Structure 1
Amino acid sequence: MHFTEVSSRNYEAITLVDGAIDIMMDLEPGFPSQWVRLQLDKLVQDAEAALMTETNPHLRLEGLIRLFYHEWGFCGDRNQYYAAENAYLDKVLERRKGIPVSLGAVLMYVAQHLELPVSGVAFPTQYILRVDWPDAPVQFINPFDGEFVSQQTLGSWLKGHKGPLAPWRDSYLTPTSHTDVLARWLTVLKSALLREEQYADALRCSDLALLLRPGDPHEIRDRGYIYQQLECSHAAAMDYSYFIEQCPEDPAAELLKLQVKVLNAQAPVLH
């Protein structure tokens, strides 16, 4: 798939994992998509075989969580949380380690094949899974460790993330579109690549995220930083200027104004 096709693709019509595979094929020409699909299909087949006699959907979900985290050994990477390999699907399936969005996407893929009512939520602190039972209250799962989390716990996470006065919004728990989750996934991967100083790869992530969320000022600000690291002063100054124009009240705006002056002074003069 080419970059130009990303913005026109209907990611809501496919699974989140399929969308992620498409995105990663675009990021990495050598991405082993066929191997990834084979591994996912094997997980589904193994889950169906292990749970074929369990007809109660609640127990079926508990059985799947036990399989995923205990028998198959998937877990959150606590030692290298911000490593880029935790966001690449092939590495997650190979290492059985990841971050909430990558682990959650794989778990949700298997759950939906088992006809369990699981969807994904881009909660402000991290990606979580939501289970909408027809006969019981909604449940939430932390895909980092497979634990069920209460709304009270989620409220504590929010206060830890945004401060003790952070207002609660019910919209924080509504299922998130695949397009928005993929854009956030790319942002996480981009941040990891920046830490690893892989600026060219980070730039591809940023460009892809902007096709999913055109004009996002924070993404454009981040792209400006990448351009600055790649010594593309003019492009960096343009992106910073866009952010300043769109978010004049942001605390970063004043600092970026100084950066723009420095970058414009560095930009080559064409005669």
Structure 2
Amino acid sequence: MLPFNDDELDQMELVEGAMEITAAVEPAFPIGWVRIQLKKLAQEAEHALMDEPNPRLRLEGLLRLFYREWGFHGDNQQYFSSENALLDKVLQRKKGIPVSLGAIFLYLARHLELPITSVGFPTQYILKVDWYDGEQQFINPFDGEYISLRTLRGWLIGYRGPFTELKDEHFATADNKDILARWLTVLKSALLREEHYTDALRCSDLALSIRPDDPHEIRDRGYIYQQLDCSHAAATDYTYFIEQCPEDPAAELLKLQVMALNEEPLTLH
């Protein structure tokens, strides 16, 4: 369980919430070291850019500093590695995925008083700039490039089909709770791929503390229980998913899994 409620979660920096959830998943996570590194980056950015009175030029300077001078970039070679979702590894390697790089960039932008917020776009996490004259811009935190509406529509069509249209809801500022839930999903998927099932289970339990009774998360937890040879716990989670999502294509296959799991002898862990 997280040591704070939803309101407290939304009042803190996204990167701070990410540190807290990571520490809950990875007991050895060096949260103090990460805070020090972030503070150093913020001080360097402030020293370099706070004397620039034009906020647009200040943003251009931060993009240049973060992606070119410091060398932060998206990991194209091992995109699905858990290291790309763990902030200590991202800071050490200067490589990550949109949500981890974006959370760090957002933290720095707030220190520079830039009007940037989070957007949970359907295909990936992006950053939104709401300029004071009403203009909006969007940044891909994976590479620091601006994203046009045409490109965003192309992403959405590739994800949801050719008749999909952009809507205002796609660009709504996201709560930290929603972004962190997606972050946990990414981390959990990476840990499963790496067969780190105990850590993945902690991820799943933490995600359920943010979104209780989410049937898809409970289904995923059932899979983790199955890998850990907790057959009856897995069957219970699968059964819940089947009851909540009977029309899901996976439901029929999971019914067979439940039958097989219930035939296995009870194992005490």
| TM-score in same-fold range (> 0.5) | yes
SS in 1 for 2:91: helix
SS in 1 for 2:64: helix
Matches within 5 A, 1:155-234: 155-234=153-232
Contact 1:6 1:211 (C-alpha < 8 Å) held by counterparts: no
Choose from 94, 114, 117 the match for 2:115: 117
Q: What is the distance in 2 between the residues matched to 1:63 and 1:121?
A: 22
- Once the two structures are TM-superposed, the CA of residue 9 in structure 1 deviates from its matched residue by 6.9
Q: What is the distance in 1 between the residues matched to 2:50 and 2:3?
A: 39
CA deviation map 1:248-268 (0-9, x unaligned): 111111111111111111243
Instruction: Provide the alpha-carbon RMSD of the alignment.
Output: 1.6
Q: What is the distance in 1 between the residues matched to 2:30 and 2:13?
A: 18
Q: What is the distance in 1 between the residues matched to 2:98 and 2:54?
A: 26
Q: What is the distance in 2 between the residues matched to 1:114 and 1:41?
A: 13
Cross-structure match for 1:22: 20
Choose from 141, 144, 150 the match for 2:142: 144
SS in 2 for 1:128: strand
* Cα distance, 1:163–1:8 mapped onto 2, change above 3 Å: closer
* Cα distance, 1:108–1:8 mapped onto 2, change above 3 Å: closer
Which range moved further: 204-213 or 258-267?
258-267
Cross-structure match for 1:35: 33
Q: What is the distance in 2 between the residues matched to 1:194 and 1:236?
A: 15
Unaligned runs of at least 5 residues, structure 2: none
| 1:52 paired to 2:50 | yes
- Once the two structures are TM-superposed, the CA of residue 4 in structure 1 deviates from its matched residue by 5.8
Q: Which amino acid aligns with 2:75?
A: D
Contact 1:6 1:212 (C-alpha < 8 Å) held by counterparts: no
Cross-structure match for 1:153: 151
* Cα distance, 1:4–1:151 mapped onto 2, change above 3 Å: closer
SS in 1 for 2:131: coil
Q: Which amino acid aligns with 1:247?
A: C
- Once the two structures are TM-superposed, the CA of residue 221 in structure 1 deviates from its matched residue by 0.7
- Once the two structures are TM-superposed, the CA of residue 169 in structure 1 deviates from its matched residue by 2.9
Q: Percent identity, aligned pairs only?
A: 65
Choose from 231, 249, 252 the match for 2:250: 252
Contact 1:244 1:253 (C-alpha < 8 Å) held by counterparts: yes
Cross-structure match for 1:83: 81
* Cα distance, 1:130–1:32 mapped onto 2, change above 3 Å: same
CA deviation map 1:78-118 (0-9, x unaligned): 00000000000100011100000000000000001100000
Contact 1:7 1:211 (C-alpha < 8 Å) held by counterparts: no
SS in 1 for 2:164: coil
- TM-score norm. by structure 2 comes to 0.96
* Cα distance, 1:209–1:269 mapped onto 2, change above 3 Å: closer
Q: Which amino acid aligns with 2:159?
A: H
Which range moved further: 247-256 or 216-225?
247-256
Unaligned runs of at least 5 residues, structure 1: none
* Cα distance, 1:147–1:81 mapped onto 2, change above 3 Å: same
Which range moved further: 12-21 or 158-167?
158-167
- TM-score norm. by structure 1 comes to 0.95
SS in 1 for 2:151: helix
Matches within 5 A, 1:233-248: 233-248=231-246
Q: Which amino acid aligns with 1:110?
A: L
- Once the two structures are TM-superposed, the CA of residue 33 in structure 1 deviates from its matched residue by 1.1
Cross-structure match for 1:94: 92
- Once the two structures are TM-superposed, the CA of residue 136 in structure 1 deviates from its matched residue by 4.3
- Once the two structures are TM-superposed, the CA of residue 51 in structure 1 deviates from its matched residue by 1.0
Which range moved further: 41-50 or 77-86?
41-50
SS in 2 for 1:5: coil
SS in 1 for 2:127: strand
